[in-house]
Structure formats: C-alpha cells, structure tokens
C-alpha cells in the first residue's frame, strides 16, 4: 500500500506548535503560575535587578501561599533560566556576565539569521496578515505603557515571523534563547527610544517579507537584537563585539 504523503504544514501551524510553553508537560498549579508571572514581571520591568535575592518568607507573605508553592515557583523560574539556586543559599535573579551575554547572542544571531533565510519570499499572505495584526497590538501596548503587553507581543511577533521558516525545532530554539536573554532584553521594554527603534524594525521586516531580498531580512533580524545587548553590556562593563 503506498504511503500517503501529508501536506506540508503552513507557517501558522508551525507557529502554533512552537508557541506551546516550553514548560509544557510540567505540572504547575494556578498558585505557582501566579507567583511565576508576578516575579517574572518584576524581573522584566527592573523591579528585581540581577543578583537580587528571592527570600522565601517575604514571597510567602506577598502571595499568601505556603513555602511549598514558593519553592515550586522558583524551580519553574530556574528552568526558564532567569533564576539561579545554590545549595544553602536563597534563590537569586540570574546575573549574566559579559561573556555569557556574548555567547547567548552568538547563538541567537546564528538561529535568527538562518531562520530568516529559510522563509520563502514573498511570504505567505496569512503570515503577513498575522504579523500586521500583532504589530498593531504591539504599537498600542507601547502607546499605553502596557509593558507586559509590549513584552508578550514583541515575542509573539518574532516567533510568528520565524515560523515562516517552516521548522518548528528552529523556532523552539529561538524561543529558548529569547528566554535566556530576558534579563538583557528587559531594559528595552520600558525605554521609549529603544521601543521606537523596535517598532520601526518590525515595520521594515514586514515590508521585506513582501519582497524577495532574504539577505536584507536576515541582516535586519540580527541587527534588531543588538541595541538591547549593547545597553546591557554598557551597564555591566562589557564591550560588544562586531557582528
């Protein structure tokens, strides 16, 4: 009996698979999710800077939960790469050294360049329509100072864009390294100048997707992530390498 060939997945189907939480398969209660979201927001928006100790007793009081729920939430944040825990010490917000930032961004640049080059141009109209929709919501969040929305719609824009490569494994890898670089990207979420650059880059990406210059798109996807990296290294005393 001949094997039936399944049709290739559309970019939006790839995106839907890739956007599944990387913690899927792990049991996380509603209380743990509330703690994770609250602490993640504090880290994203600078209320908890790198190396800040996360003491269990104040967290128990803040969220009205037992020590078990706090420890489980910290464990989830550790798996996300934004909290570190050491034996006989309280958990702390992860602090990235200049060398760690360079290594993470080396991988981000490789992944994003190659993903962009694999997007067939002109892009699928459905993919373009989705990106235009996300960009409109992203711009609205910027205008309303909705920094959580800025963060979520920025990530959605890029993961949707790279879903056009048709490779869910590449998109998942990009998502993982976006997560690892969250501490680096956090400053961008509330900086008006950096957000303006980000919005203009998104608009340019959409226009390039309508054309045929894949190399220009790939280079823009690499250049797009540099401002946050340069800003972080300026604070911690590192000097960014040329890309």
66/112 same-domain check: no
Domain final residue pick, 74, 93, 112: 93
Tell me if 76 is assigned to some domain: yes
Residues 88 and 138 placed together within one structural domain of the fold: no
Beta bridge partners of 234: none
Same domain for 217 and 115 = yes
pLDDT of residue 26: 55
Task: Note whether residue 155 is domain-resident.
Answer: yes
Domain residues for the domain of 211 are 98-236
69 located within any domain: yes
Task: Note whether 118 and 32 are same-domain residues.
Answer: no
137/154 same-domain check = yes
What percentage of the chain reaches a pLDDT higher than 70?
86
Is 133 exposed, middle or buried (CB count within 10 Å of its CB: 0-12, 13-18, 19+)? Answer: middle
Residue 5 lies inside a defined structural domain of this protein: no
Q: In this structure, what CATH number is given to the domain that contains residue 87?
A: 1.10.10.10
Residue 125 belongs to domain with CATH number: 1.20.120.530
Could you read off the pLDDT of 179-227 as tens digits, one per residue? 889 889 887 777 899 999 999 999 999 999 999 999 999 999 999 999 9
Final residue of a domain: which of 41, 62, 93? 93
Residue 182 lies in a domain: yes
Q: 135: which 2 tokens?
A: 């960009």
Does a structural domain hold residue 18?
A: no
Q: Does 113 lie in the same domain as 83?
A: no
What pLDDT sits at residue 241? 62
Instruction: Note the pLDDT of residue 18.
Output: 42
Q: Are 225 and 213 in contact (CB under 8 A)?
A: no
How many domains does the chain contain in total?
Answer: 2
Q: Name the pTM for this structure.
A: 0.81
The pLDDT mean for the chain works out to 87
Among the candidates 93, 118, 135, a domain finishes at 93
Let me know whether 70 and 128 are in one domain: no
> Mind giving me the DSSP string for the chain?
-PPPPPPPPPHHHHHHHHTS-TTTTS---HHHHHHHHHHHHHHHTTSS-TT-EE-HHHHHHHHT--HHHHHHHHHHHHHTTSEE--TTS-EEE----HHHHHHHHHHHHHHHHHHHHTS-SSPPHHHHHHHHHHHHHHHHHHHTT-HHHHHHHHHHHHHHHHHTTS-HHHHHHHHHHHHHTHHHHGGGGG-HHHHHHHHHHHHHHHHHHTSS-HHHHHHHHHHTTHHHHHHHHHHHT--PPP-
14: in domain: no
pLDDT at residue 20, as a whole number: 44
Alpha helices in 118-167 (DSSP H): 125-143, 147-163
Mean pLDDT for 132-158 is: 94
13, pLDDT greater than 50:
no
pLDDT score recorded for residue 6: 38
Q: pLDDT digits over 73-115, tens only?
A: 999 999 888 899 888 788 999 889 999 999 999 999 999 999 9
How far is the C-alpha of 201 from the C-alpha of 10, rounded, in Å?
Answer: 25
- Sorting pLDDT into bands at 50, 70 and 90, what band is 46? confident
**Pair 75, 157 in one domain:** no
* One domain, residues 127 and 65: no
Alpha carbons 233 and 65: distance in angstroms, whole number: 37
Residue 17: inside a domain, yes or no? Answer: no
Indicate whether 107 and 147 sit together in one domain.
yes
* Residues 111 and 72 occupy one common structural domain: no
Under the banding of pLDDT at 50, 70 and 90, the label for residue 4 is very low
Strands 53-54 and 91-93: antiparallel
Same domain, 206 and 106: yes
């Amino acid at each position: 009996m001949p094997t039936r060939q399944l049709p290739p997945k559309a970019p939006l189907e790839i995106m839907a698979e890739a956007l599944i939480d990387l913690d899927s398969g792990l049991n996380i209660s509603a209380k743990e999710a509330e703690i994770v979201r609250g602490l993640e927001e504090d880290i994203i928006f600078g209320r908890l800077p790198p190396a800040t100790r996360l003491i269990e007793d104040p967290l128990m009081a803040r969220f009205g939960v037992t020590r078990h729920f706090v420890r489980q939430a910290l464990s989830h944040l550790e798996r996300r790469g934004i909290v570190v825990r050491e034996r006989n010490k309280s958990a702390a917000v992860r602090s990235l050294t200049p060398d760690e930032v360079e290594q993470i961004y080396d991988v981000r640049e490789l992944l994003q360049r190659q993903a962009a080059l694999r997007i067939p141009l002109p892009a699928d109209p459905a993919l373009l329509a989705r990106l235009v929709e996300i960009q409109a919501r992203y711009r609205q969040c910027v205008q309303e100072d909705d920094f959580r929305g800025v963060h979520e719609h920025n990530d959605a824009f890029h993961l949707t864009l790279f879903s056009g490569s048709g490779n869910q494994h590449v998109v998942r890898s990009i998502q993982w390294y976006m997560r690892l670089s969250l501490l680096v990207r956090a400053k961008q979420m509330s900086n008006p100048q950096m957000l303006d650059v980000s919005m203009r880059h998104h608009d340019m990406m959409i226009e390039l997707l309508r054309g045929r210059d894949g190399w220009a798109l790939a280079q823009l996807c690499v250049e797009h992530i540099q401002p946050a990296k340069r800003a972080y290294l300026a604070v911690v005393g590192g000097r960014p390498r040329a890309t």
